[in-house]
Amino acid sequence: MRYPRAAESIAISLTFVLLTFSLLLYLGAVSFREVRREEKALGKLELPEPMLKGEMSVEEAISKRRSVREYKNVPLTLSELGQLLWAAQGITLPSRGFRAAPSAGATYPLELYVSVREGGVEGLPAGIYHYDPFMHSLSLVKAGDFSMEIYRAALSQEWVREAPICIIIAADFVRTTSRYGPRGERYVYMEAGHVGQNIYLQATALGLGTVAVGAFYDDQLKSVVGCSEDPIYLFPVGRR
Ligand SMILES: Cc1cc2nc3c(=O)[nH]c(=O)nc-3n(C[C@H](O)[C@H](O)[C@H](O)COP(=O)(O)O)c2cc1C
C-alpha cells in the first residue's frame, strides 16, 4: 500500500479547504440573493448606502443648526432621504444591532415612518413608508399623498404641509417599560430627543432644513400614519 507523501497530502488538504470555502461562499451568496428577492416580493425598497463622511464638521453643523420652517419646492433625492433615516436610526454596529442614536438597555422602542408628498422625493411615489434599519430599506404602508392630513393633525402648521417629506418618530413604549417599569416611559422620550437631534444635524450637514414638531393631535396622526406604535415627534424636512 502506498501512503501519500507530505506534499501530496498538503495539496489534498488545500483542495478540500478551497472547495469547502467556495461552497460556503456560494451558499452565502444564494441566501443573500434569497433575502433580496424576498425583500422585493414584500415591496421593500433598498435605500442607497449611507455616506460615512460629509462636507461639514459636526461642530459646524451644531453651530449652523436652526429650526427651518420654509422650504424650496424642489424634491429631495433618495440618497438624502436614506442619509437622514440612517442618521436617525441606522445600524452602526451590525454585530450587536446597535444604532446611530443611543437606547436605554438597547431596547429600541422607536420606529420611523416617512410621509412623502407627491413629487417630494425623486423617483419615489407619494406614500407613507416604514424604515427598516437592518436592511436600510423602506416598505410602503399606504400609497398616496397624506401631507394635507398630517398638516391638519399637526394643528395646521404650514411647514408640515409644505415640506417634501415628513419623518414621524413613533414609539412602542412596552419594549422599554417591560424592562424598566414606568421609568421606561421617560427613557423613550429621551431617546426620541437623541434621534431628533441627529435628524437636525444631518439635515444641516446636507444643506437641508427641518423643525421639531411636538404639537399634534395624537389619535388623528396615528390613524393617518396607520401605525400600531404611538407617534411622538414629527420632522418635516426640505431644501432651504
Ligand atoms: C419638544 C419640542 C417641540 C417642538 N414643537 C414645535 C412645534 O410643534 N412647531 C414648531 O414650529 N416648532 C416646534 N419646536 C421647535 C422650537 O420652536 C425651536 O426649537 C425653538 O424656537 C428654538 O429655535 P431653534 O431650534 O432654531 O434653535 C419644538 C421643539 C421642541 C424641542
Regarding whether 86 and 124 lie in a shared domain, the answer is yes
Regarding whether 91 and 32 lie in a shared domain, the answer is no
Inside any domain, residue 223 = yes
From ligand 1's centre to the CA of 159, what distance in Å?
A: 12
From ligand 1's centre to the CA of 213, what distance in Å?
A: 6
Regarding whether 36 and 97 lie in a shared domain, the answer is no
- pLDDT tens-digit readout, 13-72: 545 554 554 544 444 444 444 444 444 444 699 999 999 999 999 999 999 999 999 999
The confidence band for 154, taking pLDDT boundaries of 50, 70 and 90, is very high
Structural domain boundaries enclosing 27: 6-41
State the pLDDT at residue 35: 42
- Is the distance from the beta carbon of residue 66 to the nearest atom of ligand 1 less than 6 Å? yes
pLDDT at residue 103 above 50? yes
Regarding whether 26 and 139 lie in a shared domain, the answer is no
Sequential DSSP letters for 199-221: HHHHHHHTTEEE--B--S-HHHH
Is the Cα torsion angle 6, 7, 8, 12 positive or negative in sign? positive
- Is the distance from the beta carbon of residue 212 to the nearest atom of ligand 1 less than 6 Å? yes
Regarding whether 151 and 207 lie in a shared domain, the answer is yes
Inside any domain, residue 1 = no
Regarding whether 87 and 33 lie in a shared domain, the answer is no
Cell of 90: 441606522
Regarding whether 176 and 72 lie in a shared domain, the answer is yes
Inside any domain, residue 52 = yes
| Ligand 1: nearest atom to the Cα of 66 | 26
Which of 63, 65, 67, 160 has the most ligand 1 atoms within 8 A of CB, as the residue to mutate? 67
Q: Which residues share a beta bridge with 239? A: 72, 208
In whole numbers, what is the pLDDT of the chain averaged over residues?
89
The confidence band for 142, taking pLDDT boundaries of 50, 70 and 90, is very high
Q: What is the mean pLDDT of residues 129-154?
A: 98
The confidence band for 124, taking pLDDT boundaries of 50, 70 and 90, is very high
Other Cβ atoms closer than 10 A to 135 = 16
Q: What total number of domains does the chain contain?
A: 2
Regarding whether 64 and 22 lie in a shared domain, the answer is no
SS3 58: helix
Regarding whether 104 and 193 lie in a shared domain, the answer is yes
Regarding whether 99 and 13 lie in a shared domain, the answer is no
Regarding whether 117 and 103 lie in a shared domain, the answer is yes
- pLDDT tens-digit readout, 35-44: 444 444 446 9
| Ligand 1: nearest atom to the Cα of 159 | 11
38 and 135 Cβ atoms separated by less than 8 Å: no
State the pLDDT at residue 8: 58
